[in-house]
């Protein structure tokens, strides 16, 4: 008799691969054969996960067509089973998976479109957290200002893409063939910040200097290090993040972590 762990692993394997149903022999009999019941579970799981991917990647779905999307999703599910019980967390690796598929070589921008859509999905489902109030910094001693590190809001993503994925996705979702035809697909890199604003999500294109600043800011560089850049736009870049609610907290060095508006 297999152990409970062996039964659980066998059940998992049978969900991912129809050819691995040896565990059926350890399942109690019923009016429906064990193999058929495993098939029902497998089909249900695939349907649910495919539906979840389709919700996260609607522009990708339209670009490749429903049948191809189903095929790609089936392959992805077999090699990337969920590791969380939350469907909102499923599918982050789909962009790299799509880009690596030989069949998508004719759509070199597909991976970037998927990365963009995952950032939108991530922003939509990110933890609710109050934006940092600039007034929360008023009690920080001037001697500690250089040691301030700011934490991005959980909904924020930075994307450095080879293709204009935002314009492509917008045109595809709008069904605007003229707009799609007018996009210079090979026009060069596009740098985006994606986050949640109110009840919706937003994306904004950034110039190279602003993108580098946000990478450093959200990556944990101190205010002193950022100020040392000597760029006259640093103060403006930082102020914009407060105005747009992209910061959620801060810490100081060498002082202990402060909660800011997070308490």
| Residues with Cβ within 8 Å of residue 258, at least 6 apart in sequence | 140, 250, 251, 252
Short-list 238, 248, 153, 235, CA closest to 202: 153
Distance (Å) of CA 224 to CA 33, 135, 230: 68, 19, 11
What does the alpha-carbon distance between residue 2 and residue 222 come to, in Å, rounded to a whole number? 56
Mean pLDDT score of the chain = 88
pLDDT of residue 21: 62
Q: For the chain, what is the radius of gyration of the CA atoms? A: 23
H/E stretch holding 124: helix 110-125
Domain boundaries, the chain: 1-107
What does the alpha-carbon distance between residue 250 and residue 235 come to, in Å, rounded to a whole number? 17
Q: What is the largest CA-CA distance in the chain?
A: 76
The tally of CA atoms less than 13 A away on the side-chain side of residue 16 is 14
Q: How many residues does the chain have?
A: 263
Residue 254 confidence (pLDDT) above 80: no
Short-list 8, 14, 5, 70, CA closest to 37: 14
| Confidence (pTM) | 0.86
Confidence band (pLDDT; 50, 70, 90) for 136? confident
Average pLDDT over residues 99-106: 97
Chain segment 137-157, per-residue pLDDT in tens = 888 888 899 999 999 999 999
pLDDT of residue 38: 74
Q: Do 187 and 174 form a contact (C-beta atoms < 8 A)? A: no
pLDDT of residue 180: 82
* Tokens at 229, concatenated: 């850049």
């Amino acid at each position: 008799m297999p152990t409970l762990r062996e039964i659980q692993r066998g059940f998992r394997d049978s969900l991912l691969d129809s050819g691995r149903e040896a565990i059926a022999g350890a399942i109690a009999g019923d009016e429906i054969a064990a193999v058929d019941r495993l098939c029902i579970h497998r089909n249900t799981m695939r349907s649910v996960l495919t539906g979840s991917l389709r919700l996260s990647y609607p522009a990708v779905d339209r670009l490749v067509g429903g049948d191809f999307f189903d095929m790609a999703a089936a392959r992805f599910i077999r090699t990337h089973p969920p590791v969380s019980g939350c469907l909102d967390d499923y599918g982050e690796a789909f962009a790299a998976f799509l880009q690596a598929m030989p069949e998508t070589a004719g759509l070199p921008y597909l991976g970037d479109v998927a990365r963009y859509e995952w950032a939108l999905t991530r922003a939509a489902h990110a933890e609710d957290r109050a934006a940092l109030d600039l007034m929360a910094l008023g009690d920080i001693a001037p001697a500690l200002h250089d040691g301030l590190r700011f934490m991005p809001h959980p909904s924020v993503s930075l994307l450095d893409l080879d293709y204009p994925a935002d314009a492509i996705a917008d045109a595809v979702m709008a069904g605007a063939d003229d707009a799609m035809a007018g996009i210079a697909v090979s026009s060069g890199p596009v740098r985006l910040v994606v986050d949640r604003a109110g009840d919706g999500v937003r994306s904004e294109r950034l110039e190279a200097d602003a993108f580098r600043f946000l990478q450093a800011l959200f990556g944990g560089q101190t205010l002193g290090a950022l100020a040392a850049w000597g760029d006259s736009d640093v103060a403006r870049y930082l102020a914009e993040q407060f105005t747009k609610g992209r910061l959620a907290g801060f810490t100081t060095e060498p002082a202990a972590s402060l909660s800011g508006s997070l308490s």
